[in-house]
Protein backbone atom coordinates (compact mmCIF):
# COMPACT_ATOMS: atom_id res chain seq x y z
CA UNK A 1 0.00 0.00 0.00
CA UNK A 2 1.08 3.56 -0.59
CA UNK A 3 1.26 4.37 3.14
CA UNK A 4 3.95 1.72 3.58
CA UNK A 5 5.91 3.05 0.63
CA UNK A 6 5.75 6.54 2.07
CA UNK A 7 6.86 5.38 5.49
CA UNK A 8 9.88 3.73 3.94
CA UNK A 9 10.75 6.89 2.01
CA UNK A 10 10.34 4.98 -1.26
CA UNK A 11 8.73 7.73 -3.33
CA UNK A 12 11.21 10.21 -4.73
CA UNK A 13 10.54 12.81 -7.41
CA UNK A 14 12.68 12.37 -10.48
CA UNK A 15 13.76 15.99 -10.87
CA UNK A 16 13.61 19.31 -9.11
CA UNK A 17 11.76 22.45 -10.05
CA UNK A 18 13.52 24.81 -12.45
CA UNK A 19 13.05 28.55 -12.54
CA UNK A 20 12.64 31.00 -15.37
CA UNK A 21 12.53 34.78 -15.45
CA UNK A 22 12.07 36.47 -12.04
CA UNK A 23 12.31 33.08 -10.33
CA UNK A 24 8.96 31.91 -11.69
CA UNK A 25 8.82 28.17 -12.05
CA UNK A 26 8.96 27.25 -15.74
CA UNK A 27 8.59 23.49 -15.54
CA UNK A 28 8.65 20.63 -13.10
CA UNK A 29 8.44 16.87 -13.07
CA UNK A 30 5.55 15.23 -11.30
CA UNK A 31 6.15 12.57 -8.69
CA UNK A 32 6.37 9.24 -10.50
CA UNK A 33 3.22 7.19 -10.10
CA UNK A 34 4.10 4.07 -8.10
CA UNK A 35 1.20 2.10 -9.60
CA UNK A 36 1.56 0.00 -12.72
CA UNK A 37 -0.80 0.39 -15.65
CA UNK A 38 -3.37 -2.40 -15.72
CA UNK A 39 -3.72 -3.53 -19.35
CA UNK A 40 -7.21 -4.77 -18.58
CA UNK A 41 -8.29 -1.24 -17.78
CA UNK A 42 -7.44 -0.23 -21.36
CA UNK A 43 -8.51 -3.40 -23.15
CA UNK A 44 -11.82 -1.94 -24.23
CA UNK A 45 -10.25 1.26 -25.64
CA UNK A 46 -9.75 1.39 -29.39
CA UNK A 47 -6.01 1.66 -30.15
CA UNK A 48 -4.82 5.20 -30.75
CA UNK A 49 -5.28 8.63 -29.19
CA UNK A 50 -8.72 9.95 -28.28
CA UNK A 51 -9.94 13.41 -27.29
CA UNK A 52 -13.37 14.10 -25.81
CA UNK A 53 -15.03 16.60 -23.54
CA UNK A 54 -15.26 15.50 -19.93
CA UNK A 55 -16.69 17.08 -16.81
CA UNK A 56 -15.36 19.93 -14.68
CA UNK A 57 -16.75 18.00 -11.71
CA UNK A 58 -14.25 15.15 -12.00
CA UNK A 59 -10.58 14.57 -11.28
CA UNK A 60 -9.53 12.08 -13.94
CA UNK A 61 -7.11 9.33 -12.96
CA UNK A 62 -3.94 9.32 -15.01
CA UNK A 63 -3.61 5.52 -15.31
CA UNK A 64 -7.21 4.71 -16.20
CA UNK A 65 -9.19 5.47 -19.32
CA UNK A 66 -12.04 7.83 -18.43
CA UNK A 67 -15.49 6.39 -17.92
CA UNK A 68 -17.50 6.66 -21.13
CA UNK A 69 -20.44 8.08 -19.19
CA UNK A 70 -18.42 11.19 -18.34
CA UNK A 71 -17.42 11.91 -21.94
CA UNK A 72 -19.03 13.73 -24.83
CA UNK A 73 -18.06 14.78 -28.34
CA UNK A 74 -19.43 18.28 -27.78
CA UNK A 75 -19.95 20.87 -25.05
CA UNK A 76 -22.33 23.79 -24.63
CA UNK A 77 -21.62 26.58 -22.17
CA UNK A 78 -23.75 29.44 -20.92
CA UNK A 79 -22.29 32.78 -19.88
CA UNK A 80 -23.11 36.37 -19.16
CA UNK A 81 -21.04 39.07 -20.78
CA UNK A 82 -17.83 39.63 -18.80
CA UNK A 83 -18.10 36.18 -17.19
CA UNK A 84 -15.44 33.48 -17.24
CA UNK A 85 -16.68 29.92 -17.76
CA UNK A 86 -14.87 26.61 -18.07
CA UNK A 87 -14.99 22.94 -18.78
CA UNK A 88 -12.53 20.07 -19.08
CA UNK A 89 -11.61 17.77 -21.93
CA UNK A 90 -9.46 14.67 -21.79
CA UNK A 91 -6.81 13.19 -24.01
CA UNK A 92 -6.43 9.45 -23.47
CA UNK A 93 -4.18 7.26 -25.51
CA UNK A 94 -2.97 3.68 -25.89
CA UNK A 95 0.26 4.89 -27.48
CA UNK A 96 2.88 7.35 -26.28
CA UNK A 97 2.34 10.91 -27.48
CA UNK A 98 5.35 13.18 -26.91
CA UNK A 99 5.04 16.94 -27.33
CA UNK A 100 1.24 17.22 -27.43
CA UNK A 101 -0.02 20.78 -27.94
CA UNK A 102 -3.44 22.41 -27.74
CA UNK A 103 -4.66 25.46 -29.64
CA UNK A 104 -7.98 27.29 -29.53
CA UNK A 105 -9.82 29.20 -32.23
CA UNK A 106 -11.84 32.37 -31.92
CA UNK A 107 -15.59 31.90 -31.41
CA UNK A 108 -18.04 33.35 -33.92
CA UNK A 109 -21.81 33.69 -33.97
CA UNK A 110 -22.28 33.62 -37.73
CA UNK A 111 -23.41 37.24 -37.69
CA UNK A 112 -20.01 38.89 -37.74
CA UNK A 113 -19.54 38.93 -33.98
CA UNK A 114 -16.47 37.31 -32.47
CA UNK A 115 -15.02 36.26 -29.14
CA UNK A 116 -11.28 36.44 -29.88
CA UNK A 117 -8.98 33.45 -29.45
CA UNK A 118 -7.13 35.48 -26.82
CA UNK A 119 -10.20 35.18 -24.58
CA UNK A 120 -9.81 31.37 -24.61
CA UNK A 121 -7.20 29.64 -22.46
CA UNK A 122 -6.21 26.01 -22.03
CA UNK A 123 -4.01 24.37 -19.43
CA UNK A 124 -2.79 20.84 -18.86
CA UNK A 125 -3.85 19.39 -15.51
CA UNK A 126 -0.87 18.31 -13.42
CA UNK A 127 -0.87 15.62 -10.76
CA UNK A 128 0.13 16.31 -7.14
CA UNK A 129 0.33 14.08 -4.12
CA UNK A 130 -2.71 14.25 -1.87
CA UNK A 131 -3.95 12.27 1.13
CA UNK A 132 -7.35 11.83 2.79
CA UNK A 133 -9.56 12.80 5.71
CA UNK A 134 -8.68 11.61 9.20
CA UNK A 135 -10.48 8.83 11.04
CA UNK A 136 -13.00 11.33 12.44
CA UNK A 137 -13.93 12.51 8.94
CA UNK A 138 -12.16 15.85 9.11
CA UNK A 139 -8.87 17.35 8.00
CA UNK A 140 -7.35 18.69 11.24
CA UNK A 141 -4.50 17.40 13.34
CA UNK A 142 -0.92 16.23 13.01
CA UNK A 143 -0.25 13.89 10.10
CA UNK A 144 2.20 11.07 9.84
CA UNK A 145 2.25 10.14 6.12
CA UNK A 146 2.45 6.46 7.02
CA UNK A 147 -0.99 6.72 8.65
CA UNK A 148 -2.81 8.08 5.58
CA UNK A 149 -3.45 6.62 2.18
CA UNK A 150 -2.01 8.94 -0.43
CA UNK A 151 -2.50 9.22 -4.16
CA UNK A 152 -1.78 11.40 -7.16
CA UNK A 153 -4.61 13.71 -8.11
CA UNK A 154 -5.20 16.18 -10.95
CA UNK A 155 -5.37 19.70 -9.54
CA UNK A 156 -2.76 22.21 -10.76
CA UNK A 157 -3.55 23.88 -14.09
CA UNK A 158 -0.27 24.40 -15.91
CA UNK A 159 0.77 26.99 -18.47
CA UNK A 160 3.34 24.84 -20.29
CA UNK A 161 2.94 24.76 -24.07
CA UNK A 162 3.28 21.01 -24.59
CA UNK A 163 3.25 17.79 -22.63
CA UNK A 164 4.34 14.18 -22.99
CA UNK A 165 1.58 11.60 -22.55
CA UNK A 166 2.69 8.04 -21.90
CA UNK A 167 0.96 5.03 -23.41
CA UNK A 168 -2.19 3.97 -21.58
CA UNK A 169 -2.44 7.32 -19.85
CA UNK A 170 -5.08 10.03 -19.53
CA UNK A 171 -4.26 13.74 -19.69
CA UNK A 172 -7.00 16.22 -18.69
CA UNK A 173 -7.00 19.75 -20.12
CA UNK A 174 -8.81 22.74 -18.59
CA UNK A 175 -10.63 25.02 -21.04
CA UNK A 176 -11.69 28.55 -20.02
CA UNK A 177 -13.50 31.27 -21.94
CA UNK A 178 -13.63 34.85 -20.66
CA UNK A 179 -16.52 36.47 -22.55
CA UNK A 180 -15.74 40.12 -23.34
CA UNK A 181 -18.02 42.67 -21.68
CA UNK A 182 -18.82 44.17 -25.08
CA UNK A 183 -19.75 40.85 -26.73
CA UNK A 184 -23.11 40.73 -28.44
CA UNK A 185 -25.65 38.29 -27.03
CA UNK A 186 -26.04 35.11 -29.02
CA UNK A 187 -24.57 31.64 -29.57
CA UNK A 188 -20.90 31.44 -30.50
CA UNK A 189 -19.07 28.43 -31.92
CA UNK A 190 -15.40 27.60 -31.48
CA UNK A 191 -12.92 24.76 -31.54
CA UNK A 192 -9.91 23.40 -29.70
CA UNK A 193 -7.36 21.35 -31.61
CA UNK A 194 -4.96 18.79 -30.17
CA UNK A 195 -1.79 18.16 -32.20
CA UNK A 196 1.12 15.74 -31.92
CA UNK A 197 4.78 16.76 -31.76
CA UNK A 198 4.94 16.96 -35.55
CA UNK A 199 2.14 19.51 -35.67
CA UNK A 200 -0.35 17.02 -37.11
CA UNK A 201 -3.88 17.31 -35.80
CA UNK A 202 -5.02 14.45 -33.58
CA UNK A 203 -8.48 15.79 -32.94
CA UNK A 204 -10.51 18.99 -33.18
CA UNK A 205 -13.37 19.44 -30.72
CA UNK A 206 -16.22 21.82 -31.48
CA UNK A 207 -18.21 23.58 -28.78
CA UNK A 208 -20.53 26.52 -28.38
CA UNK A 209 -21.19 29.22 -25.81
CA UNK A 210 -24.53 30.98 -25.46
CA UNK A 211 -23.95 34.55 -24.27
CA UNK A 212 -26.74 36.11 -22.21
CA UNK A 213 -27.79 39.72 -22.70
CA UNK A 214 -26.86 40.51 -19.08
CA UNK A 215 -23.41 41.75 -18.08
CA UNK A 216 -21.47 40.68 -15.01
CA UNK A 217 -19.73 43.64 -13.33
CA UNK A 218 -15.94 43.77 -13.15
CA UNK A 219 -14.47 41.85 -10.21
CA UNK A 220 -13.52 45.06 -8.40
CA UNK A 221 -17.22 45.94 -8.24
CA UNK A 222 -18.49 42.59 -6.96
CA UNK A 223 -20.36 42.72 -3.68
CA UNK A 224 -19.06 39.33 -2.48
CA UNK A 225 -16.75 39.85 0.50
CA UNK A 226 -13.92 37.44 -0.37
CA UNK A 227 -11.17 36.99 2.20
CA UNK A 228 -8.45 34.52 1.20
CA UNK A 229 -5.44 35.08 3.44
CA UNK A 230 -2.21 35.86 1.62
CA UNK A 231 1.33 34.90 2.61
CA UNK A 232 4.11 37.10 1.22
CA UNK A 233 6.56 34.97 3.19
CA UNK A 234 5.80 31.80 1.23
CA UNK A 235 6.52 33.63 -2.01
CA UNK A 236 9.77 35.01 -0.60
CA UNK A 237 10.94 31.52 0.33
CA UNK A 238 9.83 29.79 -2.85
CA UNK A 239 11.25 32.43 -5.20
CA UNK A 240 14.36 32.86 -3.07
CA UNK A 241 14.08 36.65 -2.77
CA UNK A 242 14.58 38.98 0.16
CA UNK A 243 11.28 39.81 1.89
CA UNK A 244 9.79 43.12 0.72
CA UNK A 245 12.59 43.78 -1.76
CA UNK A 246 11.83 44.87 -5.31
CA UNK A 247 12.43 41.30 -6.49
CA UNK A 248 9.92 40.09 -3.90
CA UNK A 249 7.22 42.50 -5.03
CA UNK A 250 7.91 41.65 -8.67
CA UNK A 251 7.47 37.97 -7.85
CA UNK A 252 4.28 38.58 -5.86
CA UNK A 253 2.49 40.78 -8.38
CA UNK A 254 1.06 38.07 -10.67
CA UNK A 255 -0.26 36.13 -7.67
CA UNK A 256 -1.96 39.08 -6.07
CA UNK A 257 -3.42 40.52 -9.27
CA UNK A 258 -4.81 37.02 -9.93
CA UNK A 259 -6.42 37.11 -6.49
CA UNK A 260 -7.85 40.59 -7.09
CA UNK A 261 -9.23 39.20 -10.34
CA UNK A 262 -11.76 37.06 -8.46
CA UNK A 263 -12.90 39.91 -6.22
CA UNK A 264 -10.60 39.69 -3.17
CA UNK A 265 -11.50 42.45 -0.69
CA UNK A 266 -9.07 42.05 2.23
CA UNK A 267 -5.33 42.58 2.68
CA UNK A 268 -3.81 40.15 5.20
CA UNK A 269 -1.24 41.95 7.36
CA UNK A 270 0.70 40.50 10.31
CA UNK A 271 1.44 43.27 12.81
CA UNK A 272 3.21 40.89 15.22
CA UNK A 273 5.65 38.04 14.69
CA UNK A 274 4.13 34.57 14.25
CA UNK A 275 0.45 35.25 15.03
CA UNK A 276 -0.51 31.63 14.25
CA UNK A 277 2.13 29.81 16.28
CA UNK A 278 4.09 28.48 13.30
CA UNK A 279 1.18 26.55 11.81
CA UNK A 280 2.43 27.22 8.26
CA UNK A 281 5.60 26.18 6.48
CA UNK A 282 6.66 29.85 6.40
CA UNK A 283 6.20 31.80 9.62
CA UNK A 284 4.41 35.12 9.22
CA UNK A 285 6.83 37.90 10.09
CA UNK A 286 6.19 41.17 11.90
CA UNK A 287 5.34 43.81 9.30
CA UNK A 288 5.43 46.27 12.18
CA UNK A 289 8.76 46.28 14.02
CA UNK A 290 8.33 46.81 17.76
CA UNK A 291 11.21 48.33 19.73
CA UNK A 292 11.32 48.94 23.47
CA UNK A 293 13.67 51.85 24.18
CA UNK A 294 16.11 51.97 27.05
CA UNK A 295 13.82 54.39 28.89
CA UNK A 296 10.88 51.98 28.62
CA UNK A 297 9.08 53.85 25.83
CA UNK A 298 8.13 52.22 22.52
CA UNK A 299 8.74 52.94 18.85
CA UNK A 300 7.12 51.21 15.88
CA UNK A 301 8.51 50.91 12.38
CA UNK A 302 5.70 50.61 9.79
CA UNK A 303 7.95 50.45 6.71
CA UNK A 304 7.12 46.87 5.69
CA UNK A 305 3.45 47.26 6.61
CA UNK A 306 3.15 50.37 4.44
CA UNK A 307 4.96 48.79 1.49
CA UNK A 308 2.75 45.69 1.67
CA UNK A 309 -0.52 47.58 1.91
CA UNK A 310 0.41 49.99 -0.89
CA UNK A 311 1.48 47.07 -3.07
CA UNK A 312 -1.73 45.13 -2.49
CA UNK A 313 -3.83 48.19 -3.22
CA UNK A 314 -1.89 48.69 -6.44
CA UNK A 315 -2.75 45.06 -7.31
CA UNK A 316 -6.44 45.89 -6.84
CA UNK A 317 -7.23 44.78 -3.26
CA UNK A 318 -8.47 47.96 -1.64
CA UNK A 319 -11.51 47.48 0.57
CA UNK A 320 -10.10 46.29 3.89
CA UNK A 321 -6.88 45.69 5.83
CA UNK A 322 -7.00 42.85 8.39
CA UNK A 323 -4.24 43.19 11.00
CA UNK A 324 -3.37 39.98 12.88
CA UNK A 325 -3.35 39.56 15.77
CA UNK A 326 -3.91 40.95 19.23
CA UNK A 327 -4.68 37.43 20.39
CA UNK A 328 -2.11 35.10 18.81
CA UNK A 329 -2.51 31.37 19.30
CA UNK A 330 0.47 31.17 21.67
CA UNK A 331 -0.10 34.56 23.37
CA UNK A 332 3.55 35.43 22.69
CA UNK A 333 4.45 39.01 21.76
CA UNK A 334 7.92 39.55 20.30
CA UNK A 335 9.87 42.81 20.25
CA UNK A 336 13.39 44.19 20.09
CA UNK A 337 14.74 45.22 23.48
CA UNK A 338 17.17 48.11 23.07
CA UNK A 339 18.57 47.57 26.55
CA UNK A 340 19.73 44.01 25.84
CA UNK A 341 20.21 44.42 22.09
CA UNK A 342 18.16 41.27 21.47
CA UNK A 343 14.78 40.09 20.31
CA UNK A 344 12.66 38.91 23.21
CA UNK A 345 9.02 38.32 24.04
CA UNK A 346 6.40 38.40 26.74
CA UNK A 347 3.47 36.07 27.27
CA UNK A 348 0.32 37.94 28.26
CA UNK A 349 -3.37 37.15 28.39
CA UNK A 350 -6.01 39.63 27.21
CA UNK A 351 -7.32 41.55 30.19
CA UNK A 352 -4.07 41.35 32.17
CA UNK A 353 -2.06 44.41 33.20
CA UNK A 354 0.91 43.17 31.15
CA UNK A 355 -1.29 42.82 28.07
CA UNK A 356 -2.73 46.31 28.39
CA UNK A 357 0.69 47.85 28.99
CA UNK A 358 2.06 46.14 25.87
CA UNK A 359 -0.78 46.99 23.51
CA UNK A 360 -2.08 50.39 24.63
CA UNK A 361 0.84 52.50 23.35
CA UNK A 362 0.98 50.52 20.10
CA UNK A 363 -2.72 50.93 19.37
CA UNK A 364 -2.51 54.67 19.98
CA UNK A 365 0.49 55.03 17.69
CA UNK A 366 -0.99 52.69 15.08
CA UNK A 367 -4.25 54.65 14.98
CA UNK A 368 -2.31 57.85 14.43
CA UNK A 369 -0.27 56.26 11.63
CA UNK A 370 -3.32 54.80 9.91
CA UNK A 371 -5.09 58.14 9.96
CA UNK A 372 -2.05 59.84 8.46
CA UNK A 373 -2.04 57.25 5.65
CA UNK A 374 -5.80 57.54 5.12
CA UNK A 375 -6.32 53.85 5.99
CA UNK A 376 -7.92 54.01 9.43
CA UNK A 377 -11.50 53.60 8.21
CA UNK A 378 -10.69 50.43 6.25
CA UNK A 379 -8.46 48.78 8.87
CA UNK A 380 -9.58 46.03 11.24
CA UNK A 381 -7.75 44.69 14.25
CA UNK A 382 -8.30 41.04 13.34
CA UNK A 383 -8.50 37.83 15.35
CA UNK A 384 -9.47 34.28 14.44
CA UNK A 385 -10.99 31.40 16.40
CA UNK A 386 -10.42 33.10 19.76
CA UNK A 387 -12.55 32.56 22.90
CA UNK A 388 -15.29 35.05 23.66
CA UNK A 389 -13.82 36.29 26.94
CA UNK A 390 -10.47 36.99 25.27
CA UNK A 391 -12.24 38.85 22.46
CA UNK A 392 -14.22 40.95 24.90
CA UNK A 393 -11.07 41.91 26.82
CA UNK A 394 -9.26 42.86 23.62
CA UNK A 395 -12.23 44.84 22.29
CA UNK A 396 -12.51 46.74 25.58
CA UNK A 397 -8.88 47.79 25.31
CA UNK A 398 -9.18 48.71 21.64
CA UNK A 399 -12.24 50.88 22.25
CA UNK A 400 -10.55 52.62 25.19
CA UNK A 401 -7.76 53.73 22.88
CA UNK A 402 -9.94 54.74 19.93
CA UNK A 403 -13.68 54.10 19.91
CA UNK A 404 -13.72 54.08 16.10
CA UNK A 405 -11.26 51.23 15.62
CA UNK A 406 -12.87 48.39 13.66
CA UNK A 407 -12.54 44.77 14.77
CA UNK A 408 -12.87 41.56 12.76
CA UNK A 409 -13.25 37.95 13.88
CA UNK A 410 -13.35 34.64 12.08
CA UNK A 411 -14.64 32.22 14.67
CA UNK A 412 -17.65 30.87 16.48
CA UNK A 413 -20.92 32.75 16.72
CA UNK A 414 -21.36 34.59 20.02
CA UNK A 415 -24.46 36.69 20.53
CA UNK A 416 -22.51 38.91 22.90
CA UNK A 417 -20.12 39.95 20.12
CA UNK A 418 -22.56 40.63 17.28
CA UNK A 419 -22.82 44.36 18.02
CA UNK A 420 -19.09 44.85 18.63
CA UNK A 421 -17.46 43.20 15.64
CA UNK A 422 -17.46 45.00 12.30
CA UNK A 423 -16.37 42.06 10.13
CA UNK A 424 -17.83 38.89 11.67
CA UNK A 425 -17.19 35.59 9.92
CA UNK A 426 -18.72 32.50 11.53
CA UNK A 427 -17.98 28.83 10.99
CA UNK A 428 -20.19 27.06 8.45
CA UNK A 429 -23.34 25.70 10.06
CA UNK A 430 -23.55 28.58 12.54
CA UNK A 431 -25.79 31.55 11.95
CA UNK A 432 -27.02 34.97 12.99
CA UNK A 433 -30.63 35.69 13.88
CA UNK A 434 -32.80 37.54 11.37
CA UNK A 435 -32.71 40.61 13.62
CA UNK A 436 -28.92 40.48 13.90
CA UNK A 437 -28.57 40.18 10.15
CA UNK A 438 -30.87 43.12 9.56
CA UNK A 439 -28.90 45.25 12.00
CA UNK A 440 -25.54 44.30 10.54
CA UNK A 441 -26.67 44.67 6.94
CA UNK A 442 -28.14 48.12 7.66
CA UNK A 443 -24.70 49.22 8.86
CA UNK A 444 -22.91 47.64 5.91
CA UNK A 445 -20.90 45.34 8.19
CA UNK A 446 -19.33 42.32 6.44
CA UNK A 447 -21.20 39.21 7.63
CA UNK A 448 -19.69 36.07 6.20
CA UNK A 449 -18.84 32.41 6.85
CA UNK A 450 -15.79 30.21 6.60
CA UNK A 451 -14.67 26.62 6.24
CA UNK A 452 -11.44 25.19 7.60
CA UNK A 453 -9.81 21.82 8.25
CA UNK A 454 -12.69 20.85 10.55
CA UNK A 455 -15.15 20.13 7.76
CA UNK A 456 -14.69 16.99 5.72
CA UNK A 457 -17.03 18.61 3.22
CA UNK A 458 -17.59 21.00 1.64
CA UNK A 459 -13.95 21.82 1.36
CA UNK A 460 -11.09 22.81 -0.89
CA UNK A 461 -8.61 20.03 -0.19
CA UNK A 462 -6.75 18.66 -3.21
CA UNK A 463 -8.85 15.51 -2.91
CA UNK A 464 -12.17 17.36 -2.45
CA UNK A 465 -14.73 16.99 -5.26
CA UNK A 466 -14.21 20.09 -7.44
CA UNK A 467 -17.86 21.16 -7.34
CA UNK A 468 -17.59 21.74 -3.59
CA UNK A 469 -15.55 24.88 -4.30
CA UNK A 470 -18.35 26.24 -6.49
CA UNK A 471 -20.95 25.14 -3.92
CA UNK A 472 -19.50 27.63 -1.44
CA UNK A 473 -20.75 30.61 -3.44
CA UNK A 474 -24.21 29.11 -3.80
CA UNK A 475 -24.32 28.49 -0.05
CA UNK A 476 -23.46 32.12 0.68
CA UNK A 477 -26.34 33.23 -1.54
CA UNK A 478 -28.75 30.69 -0.06
CA UNK A 479 -27.94 31.61 3.56
CA UNK A 480 -27.73 35.34 2.87
CA UNK A 481 -24.09 35.70 3.82
CA UNK A 482 -22.13 38.52 2.23
CA UNK A 483 -19.12 36.41 1.40
CA UNK A 484 -16.62 33.73 2.42
CA UNK A 485 -13.26 33.37 4.15
CA UNK A 486 -10.59 30.70 3.73
CA UNK A 487 -7.38 30.95 5.65
CA UNK A 488 -4.83 30.14 3.00
CA UNK A 489 -4.51 31.45 -0.54
CA UNK A 490 -0.82 30.57 -0.94
CA UNK A 491 0.70 29.16 2.28
CA UNK A 492 2.74 26.66 0.33
CA UNK A 493 4.20 23.47 1.68
CA UNK A 494 7.83 22.54 0.97
CA UNK A 495 7.24 21.24 -2.55
CA UNK A 496 3.80 22.54 -3.51
CA UNK A 497 3.98 21.74 -7.22
CA UNK A 498 4.30 18.03 -6.54
CA UNK A 499 3.21 17.22 -2.98
CA UNK A 500 0.28 19.08 -1.42
CA UNK A 501 0.46 17.23 1.91
CA UNK A 502 1.48 18.99 5.12
CA UNK A 503 2.54 17.99 8.61
CA UNK A 504 -0.84 19.19 9.86
CA UNK A 505 -4.15 19.62 8.03
CA UNK A 506 -5.42 17.63 5.07
CA UNK A 507 -3.60 17.99 1.76
CA UNK A 508 -4.26 21.28 -0.01
CA UNK A 509 -5.67 22.99 3.07
CA UNK A 510 -2.82 25.50 3.04
CA UNK A 511 -3.07 26.79 -0.54
CA UNK A 512 -5.44 27.23 -3.46
CA UNK A 513 -2.96 28.25 -6.16
CA UNK A 514 0.44 26.96 -7.17
CA UNK A 515 3.80 28.63 -7.82
CA UNK A 516 4.07 30.14 -11.27
CA UNK A 517 1.46 31.37 -10.66
CA UNK A 518 -0.50 28.34 -11.68
CA UNK A 519 -4.17 28.19 -10.91
CA UNK A 520 -6.06 25.05 -9.87
CA UNK A 521 -9.37 23.29 -10.35
CA UNK A 522 -10.28 24.39 -6.82
CA UNK A 523 -9.48 28.04 -7.46
CA UNK A 524 -11.34 28.12 -10.78
CA UNK A 525 -14.43 26.50 -9.29
CA UNK A 526 -14.30 28.85 -6.30
CA UNK A 527 -14.31 31.79 -8.73
CA UNK A 528 -17.27 30.18 -10.51
CA UNK A 529 -19.25 30.19 -7.27
CA UNK A 530 -18.40 33.84 -6.62
CA UNK A 531 -19.60 34.82 -10.09
CA UNK A 532 -22.79 32.86 -9.43
CA UNK A 533 -23.35 34.79 -6.21
CA UNK A 534 -23.07 38.08 -8.10
CA UNK A 535 -25.48 36.88 -10.77
CA UNK A 536 -28.01 35.86 -8.13
CA UNK A 537 -27.90 39.32 -6.55
CA UNK A 538 -28.53 40.92 -9.94
CA UNK A 539 -31.39 38.55 -10.76
CA UNK A 540 -33.00 39.20 -7.39
CA UNK A 541 -32.97 42.92 -8.11
CA UNK A 542 -34.75 42.11 -11.37
CA UNK A 543 -37.46 40.34 -9.38
CA UNK A 544 -36.28 36.82 -10.22
CA UNK A 545 -35.87 35.82 -6.57
CA UNK A 546 -38.95 33.58 -6.41
CA UNK A 547 -37.72 31.49 -9.35
CA UNK A 548 -34.35 31.03 -7.65
CA UNK A 549 -35.63 30.42 -4.15
CA UNK A 550 -36.61 26.81 -4.75
CA UNK A 551 -33.09 25.75 -5.74
CA UNK A 552 -31.40 28.01 -3.19
CA UNK A 553 -33.28 26.22 -0.44
CA UNK A 554 -31.54 22.99 -1.44
CA UNK A 555 -28.16 24.37 -0.36
CA UNK A 556 -28.16 22.99 3.14
CA UNK A 557 -24.86 21.84 4.56
CA UNK A 558 -26.47 18.67 5.91
CA UNK A 559 -27.70 17.66 2.43
CA UNK A 560 -24.14 17.05 1.28
CA UNK A 561 -24.27 13.80 3.21
CA UNK A 562 -26.91 12.47 0.80
CA UNK A 563 -26.43 14.49 -2.40
CA UNK A 564 -23.24 15.49 -4.18
CA UNK A 565 -22.21 19.11 -4.54
CA UNK A 566 -22.01 18.56 -8.31
CA UNK A 567 -25.66 17.48 -8.52
CA UNK A 568 -26.77 20.45 -6.43
CA UNK A 569 -24.69 23.00 -8.35
CA UNK A 570 -25.59 21.69 -11.80
CA UNK A 571 -29.31 21.53 -11.04
CA UNK A 572 -29.30 25.06 -9.66
CA UNK A 573 -27.15 26.41 -12.51
CA UNK A 574 -29.66 25.10 -15.06
CA UNK A 575 -32.39 27.12 -13.35
CA UNK A 576 -30.23 30.24 -13.14
CA UNK A 577 -29.26 29.98 -16.82
CA UNK A 578 -32.91 29.73 -17.86
CA UNK A 579 -33.79 33.13 -16.37
Q: Tell me, what's the pLDDT at 14?
A: 29
Per-residue model confidence (pLDDT) at position 386: 86
| pLDDT average, residue stretch 508-530 | 98
Q: Specify whether the CB–CB gap between 401 and 368 falls below 8 A.
A: no
Residue 179 pLDDT: 98
Percent of the chain topping pLDDT 90: 94
Task: State the Cα–Cα distance between residues 398 and 243, nearest whole angstrom.
Answer: 30
Could you tell me which of 320, 200, 316, 328 has the C-alpha nearest to residue 253? 316
Angle between helices 565-578 and 467-478 (to 10 degrees): 60
Q: Is the pLDDT of residue 5 over 70?
A: no
Residue 127, pLDDT above cutoff 50: yes
Local structure of 70: helix, strand or coil: helix
Distance CA 554, CA 531 (A): 19
Query: Considering the chain, what is the average pLDDT of its residues?
Result: 94
How sure is the predictor about 6, in pLDDT bands with cuts at 50, 70 and 90?
A: very low
User: Is-contact 546 540, C-beta < 8 A?
Assistant: no
3-state helix, strand, coil in the chain (%, to 5): 30, 30, 40
Element spanning 222, H or E: none
Over residues 340-399, the pLDDT tens digits come to 999 999 999 999 999 999 999 999 999 999 999 999 999 999 999 888 999 999 999 999
Of residues 9 and 345, more confidently modeled: 345
Q: Which residues pair with 49 in a beta bridge?
A: 93
**474-500 CB burial, b ≥16 within 10 A, e <16:** bbbbbbebbbbbbbbbbbbbebbbbbb
Per-residue pLDDT, averaged over 18-29, amounts to 57
Q: Across the chain, how many H-helices and E-strands are there?
A: 12, 27
Residue 16 reports pLDDT greater than 50: no
Give the mean model confidence (pLDDT) for residues 14-21: 34
Give the C-alpha separation, 250 to 252, whole Å.
6
Beta bridge partners of 188: 209
1 compared with 379, residue with greater pLDDT: 379
pLDDT tens profile 543-567: 999 999 999 999 999 999 999 999 9
Mean pLDDT over 455-467 rounds to 97
pLDDT at position 232, please? 98
pLDDT digits (tens, 9 = 90+) for 187-226: 999 999 999 999 999 999 999 999 999 999 999 999 999 9
Confidence of residue 27 (pLDDT cuts 50, 70, 90): confident
Q: Is the pLDDT assigned to residue 12 strictly greater than 80?
A: no
Q: What is the pLDDT confidence band of residue 24, given thresholds at 50, 70 and 90?
A: low
Residue 3 has pLDDT above 50, yes or no: no
Q: Per-residue pLDDT for 8 more than 70?
A: no
pLDDT above 70 coverage of the chain, percent: 96
Q: Using the predicted structure, report yes or no on whether residue 21 has a pLDDT greater than 80.
A: no
Instruction: Give the global pTM.
Output: 0.95
pLDDT tens figures, 51-98:
999 999 999 999 999 999 999 999 999 999 999 999 999 999 999 999
pLDDT of residue 25: 53
What pLDDT is stored for residue 13 in this prediction?
Answer: 32
Mean pLDDT of 134-146: 94
Q: How many CB atoms lie within 10 A of CB 116?
A: 11
* 3-state SS, one letter per residue, for 357-426: HHHHHHHHHHHHHHHHHCCHHHEEEEEECCCHHHHHHHHHHHHHHCCCCEEEEEECCCHHHCCCCCEEEE
pLDDT, tens digit (0-9, with 9 covering 90-100), for 325-355: 999 989 999 999 999 999 999 999 999 999 9
Amino acid sequence: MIRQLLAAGFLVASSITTFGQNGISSDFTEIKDWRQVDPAAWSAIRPGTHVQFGSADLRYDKLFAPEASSLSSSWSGHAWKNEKIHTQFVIYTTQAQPGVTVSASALTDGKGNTIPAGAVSTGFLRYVMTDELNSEGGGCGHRNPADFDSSLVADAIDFKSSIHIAANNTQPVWLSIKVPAQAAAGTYKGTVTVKNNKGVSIKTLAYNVTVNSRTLPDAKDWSYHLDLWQSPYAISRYHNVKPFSKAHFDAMRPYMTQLAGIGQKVITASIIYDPWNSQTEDIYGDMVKWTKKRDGSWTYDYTEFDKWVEFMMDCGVTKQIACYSMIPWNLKFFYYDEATGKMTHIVAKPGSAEYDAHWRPMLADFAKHLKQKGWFDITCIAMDERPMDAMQAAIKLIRSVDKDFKVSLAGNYHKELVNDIYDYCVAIGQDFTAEERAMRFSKGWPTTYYTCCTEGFPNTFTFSPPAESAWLGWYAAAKDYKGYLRWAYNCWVKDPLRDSRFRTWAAGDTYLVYPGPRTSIRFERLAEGIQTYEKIQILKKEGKGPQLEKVLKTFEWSRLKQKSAADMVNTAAAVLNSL
